[in-house]
Amino acid sequence: MAVTVETLEKLERRITLTLAADTINNEVESRLKRLSRTVKADGFRPGKVPMSVVSQRYGYSVQYEVMNDKVGQAFAQATAEAKLRVAGAPRISEKETAPEGQMAFDAVFEVYPEVKLGDLSAAEVERVSTEVTEAAIDKTLDILRKQRRTFAQRAQGEAAAEGDRVTIDFEGKIDGVPFDGGKAEGFQFLIGEGQMLEAFEKAVRGMKTGESKTFPLQFPEDYQGKDVAGKEADFLVTLNKVEAQNLPEVNDALAKSLGIKEGTVDALRADIKRNLEREVKFRVLARNKSSVMDALVKSAELDLPTSLVNGEVERMTEGARADLKKRGIKDADTAPIPAEIFQPQAERRVRLGLVVAELVRANNLQAKPEQLQAHIEEMAQSYEKPAEVVRWYLGSRERMAEVEGVVIENNVTDFVLGKAKVTDKVLPFDELMAG
């Protein structure tokens, strides 16, 4: 059967589908007969309900199902014969006029675009790298020590100092009026760890147990509490208790307490280094992958299927609603979420997905089984029982599909870095970890 495809605009196409009315009617009748064998109705035994009753009750819904099925089959056959790659769902409408004994429908849909990949040798990409230094190991070791620190109350008369844990009562007022969140009793924080505003910590530093102090505090313009942002408050603080922190020494006992089999400081530092190198590798890869994807989006030329963009906007909107529900927001299902706020990101995702798919197809960058296995095993090393993590991934098609997507992106990243104009940049460890 020859299929006539009409081009409407860019990626939009139209096909007219015709179905024999007898084919529809016969299928409806056949389905109603099958339904009559099990349908129940008052006054009739199962399987004995008259066809007239079955048709009256279920005729419309069965007719709708048959029409959907037959039109869908006709559309799939027509697009397959025309060798079209359909993007999104078609819009089907019945035509008012049709040949005698026929039913006619217009199917309007979009096709996938032709993706023109740019010259990758002209693309500019920044590739970062980071070294795990002894200072980075020391910093991580300090964090582990702080997680295991203890506190001992200072002697009466000793002043609160950097690193001490203090317990205070406080009340803040703006123009003599208390404000929400400005009062607490038995409140604890560690001086010098950024838990409070710097001006607040400065006022408490040097106070002694039982001492009270009143001081002014200027809230920053960008303070999270919008009601007090940019305003000046007067705080009354009473210091109830001062506790000095005691950090465990870096010795073999600490190594053993952290689960290091060899039980030595050298083994502990080596273990920290391995973990940091694994984390650095993933973060560096993510940064470089982002640079590569930016370059791909800039270099490729293609038209975007509106249906795919709209579908992505819907998914992002549903994701936003799900996030609102997790946060306990009331009426999350009906909260107004303007679709246009997701439009730019949705367009980028669709564009990038099409470009990456074409690059993978054209250069055979699909994920290989050994790559999938290696990636899973590497991720599993971050956990206490790697073998169980590997089994967890291998036991789910959905999880394996996610791994496959990551490996394909890694392949694309390596491929582009091998072609593009690459600028190498050494990124400080702290800057990488803060990003």
Residue 374: is its pLDDT beyond 50?
yes
Query: What would the two tokens of residue 377 be?
Result: 């095993």
Q: φ, ψ for residue 418 (rounded to 5)?
A: -80, -15
CA–chain centroid gap for 380, Å, is 20
Return d(Cα 101, Cα 90) in angstroms, integer. Answer: 25
Closest CA to 254 of 142, 344, 174: 142
Averaged pLDDT, 330-335:
80
224-267 per-position pLDDT tens digit: 888 899 999 999 999 999 999 999 999 999 999 998 989 999 99
Which contiguous run of DSSP H or E holds residue 138?
helix 134-147
pLDDT digits (tens, 9 = 90+) for 155-167: 989 999 999 999 9
The mean per-residue pLDDT over the stretch 342-359 comes to 94
The token pair at 117 is 């990949």
pLDDT tens by residue, 173-183: 999 999 998 99
Q: What is the pLDDT of residue 1?
A: 47
Q: Which of 358, 363, 434 is nearest to 115 (CA)?
A: 358
Q: What is the mean pLDDT of the chain?
A: 91
- What pTM did the predictor assign? 0.73
Q: What are the CA-CA distances from residue 174 to residues 171, 216, 217 (Å)?
A: 10, 10, 10
- Cβ 132 vs Cβ 429: under 8 Å: yes
Could you tell me what percent of the chain has a pLDDT over 70?
Answer: 100
- Domains within the chain, CATH numbers bracketed: 5-111 (3.30.70.1050), 150-246 (3.10.50.40), 261-304+342-434 (1.10.3120)
